[in-house]
């Protein structure tokens, strides 16, 4: 049986929403985008949501809004997708890595203060695996040093902890709706914030920093536009937003399905002594974007990958550590051993299929294959 690593949640209703947009005049940024932004704000309990071309651009523009520039430093984790650190590099600032915590596999809050200097202007935390970073604790630290918190929430729109959604107390959160995310319109991203001036700035920044978009200029009263800064084009379109309207309405139902599958995996893997997990904190709702397992004998991780692929089950490794990518190794002289915990999870983990369209027969098949892997064969 072949099991895909991911399937999206686009249904016939999304196709109807898309057709409605195609029948209209404005294919680019207008009412459908506005509608999705309102829905996202309602869901994230933040006042403002701003559509962006991608989460990477969202991270980059958030840093630019906070005037991050050459000679500044931005703290982040080495265990993430490269775009987290790349967004910092693009501002000319220096990404400063802090190793991950052995329990949660996310950035180790206890080690952050060791890396803060007079040049530290912001921190990008990434909510990965089964955890969100404890933003309340983090804010205690960053407030002391007047450091901005930007959340890389590419993997989680759904997080909640004791009535706090993390981005309610940070400066902003950046989401991704790229192909394999919990809700997707093939690419694109967004920023969520409670800061009105940030929202106003970003709405201009995403379209050459011009003061009126095409939709705002269209109609009975033509409004002229101005441009104050030289900027990029990174707005998203009605076409893309149309695919997300139904998904955001159903995001909690989709999450429930992910929860059920994760629970079933937990139940069936709990007696498998070869496998470990990150700690799951009580009372936290998490997005269940990835189901990542740790192969305790890390040198056998690739044996697992090979055997799963031989059984036609597609898997992934999330993530290869950023500091050991050729670009970062060369530029900052990083080497193996610099961030041992992150390197350990890169060496020892595998993400297995987890998505609402996964059928029971496929789940049972994955469980059967993983539990039957025997190193000797
Ligand atoms: C943790 C993390 N951050 C950022 C991104 C970038 O998202 P995008 O592809 O929307 O730029 C990704 C993409 O997979 C990711 O996994």
Give the structural domain span for 276.
252-372
Residues 323, 326: Cα–Cα separation, whole Å: 8
Residue 62 Cα to ligand 1 midpoint, Å, equals 15
Tell whether 2 is covered by a domain.
no
Residues 117 and 128 in one domain: yes
Q: What is the mean pLDDT of the chain?
A: 93
Asked if the structure places residue 59 within a domain, the reply is: yes
Tokens of 57: 């651009």
| CATH number of the domain within which 307 lies | 3.90.1150.10
Residue 375 confidence (pLDDT): 63
Same structural domain for residues 291 and 236?
no
* Statement to judge: residues 256 and 171 lie in one domain: no
Best mutation site among 154, 177, 182, 186 for ligand 1, i.e. most ligand atoms within 8 A of its Cβ?
154
- pLDDT tens digits, one per residue of 148-192: 999 999 998 988 877 777 678 899 999 999 989 999 998 999 999
361 alpha carbon – ligand 1 mean position (Å):
30
Residue 88 falls within a domain, yes or no? yes
pLDDT of residue 376: 57
Cα distances (Å, whole numbers) of residue 367 to 268, 348, 373: 7, 19, 10
Asked if 354 and 206 sit in the same domain, the reply is no
One domain for residues 283 and 357 = yes
Boundary (domain end) residue, out of 249, 278, 309: 249
Q: Cβ < 6 Å from ligand 1: which residues?
A: 54-56, 80-81, 83-84, 126, 152, 154-155, 176, 178, 189
pLDDT tens track for 211-233: 888 887 777 778 888 998 888 88
Last residue of a domain, one of 224, 249, 274: 249
Domain shared by 129 and 276, yes or no: no
State the total domains in the chain.
Answer: 2
Q: Looking at the domain assignment, is residue 257 inside a domain?
A: yes
Q: Is the domain of 131 the same as that of 199?
A: yes
Q: Are residues 213 and 344 in the same domain?
A: no
**Domain contains 358:** yes
* CATH code of the domain covering residue 78: 3.40.640.10
**Mutation test residue for ligand 1: of 51, 79, 95, 178, the one with most atoms within 8 Å of CB:** 178
Specify whether 175 is located in the same domain as 222: yes
Residues 192 and 276 placed together within one structural domain of the fold? no
Ligand 1 atom closest to 58 (CA): 11
CA of 80 to the centre of ligand 1 (A): 9
User: Which of these three, 183, 214, 249, is where a domain ends?
Assistant: 249
Ligand 1: centre distance to CA 220 (Å): 40
CB within 8 Å of 361: residues ≥ 6 apart: 1
Together in a domain, 172 and 291: no
Residue 284's pLDDT is 78
Task: Report the atom number in ligand 1 closest to the C-alpha of 176.
Answer: 10
Q: Which residues of the chain have pLDDT under 70?
A: 166, 375-377
Ligand 1 center–CA 58 separation, angstroms: 10
Q: Smallest Cα–Cα separation from 258: which of 2, 6, 4, 3?
A: 6
Same domain, 190 and 306: no
| Domain contains 319 | yes
């Amino acid at each position: 049986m072949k099991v895909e690593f991911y399937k999206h949640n686009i249904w016939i209703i999304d196709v109807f929403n898309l057709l409605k947009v195609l029948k209209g005049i404005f294919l680019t940024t207008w009412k459908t985008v506005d509608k999705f932004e309102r829905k996202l704000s309602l869901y994230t309990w933040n006042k403002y949501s701003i559509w962006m071309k991608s989460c990477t651009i969202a991270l980059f523009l958030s840093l630019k809004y906070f005037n991050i520039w050459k000679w500044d430093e931005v703290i982040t984790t080495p265990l993430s997708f490269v775009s987290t650190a790349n967004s910092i590099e693009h501002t000319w600032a220096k990404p400063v890595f802090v190793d991950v915590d052995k329990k949660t596999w996310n950035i180790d809050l206890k080690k952050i203060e060791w890396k803060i200097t007079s040049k530290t202007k912001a921190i990008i935390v990434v909510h990965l695996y089964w955890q969100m970073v404890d933003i309340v604790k983090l804010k205690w630290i960053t407030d002391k040093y007047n450091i901005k918190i930007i959340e890389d929430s590419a993997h989680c729109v759904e997080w909640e902890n004791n009535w706090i959604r993390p981005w309610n107390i940070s400066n902003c959160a950046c989401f991704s709706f790229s192909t394999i995310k919990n809700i997707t319109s093939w690419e694109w991203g967004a920023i969520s914030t409670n800061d009105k001036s940030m929202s106003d700035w970003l709405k201009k920044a995403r379209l050459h920093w011009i003061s009126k978009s095409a939709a705002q200029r269209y109609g009975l009263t033509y409004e002229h536009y101005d441009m104050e800064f030289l900027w990029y084009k990174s707005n998203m379109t009605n076409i893309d937003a149309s695919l997300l309207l139904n998904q955001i309405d159903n995001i909690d139902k989709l999450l429930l399905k992910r929860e059920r599958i994760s629970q079933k995996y937990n139940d069936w893997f709990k007696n498998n002594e070869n496998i470990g997990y990150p700690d799951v904190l009580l009372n936290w709702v998490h997005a269940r974007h990835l189901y990542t397992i740790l192969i305790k004998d890390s040198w056998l991780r690739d044996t697992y990958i090979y055997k799963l692929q031989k059984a036609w089950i597609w898997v992934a490794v999330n993530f290869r550590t950023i500091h050991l990518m050729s670009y970062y190794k060369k530029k900052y002289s990083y080497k193996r051993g610099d961030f041992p915990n992150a390197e350990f999870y890169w060496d020892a983990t595998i993400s297995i299929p987890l998505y609402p369209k996964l059928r029971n027969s496929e789940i049972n098949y994955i469980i059967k294959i993983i539990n039957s892997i025997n190193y000797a064969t």
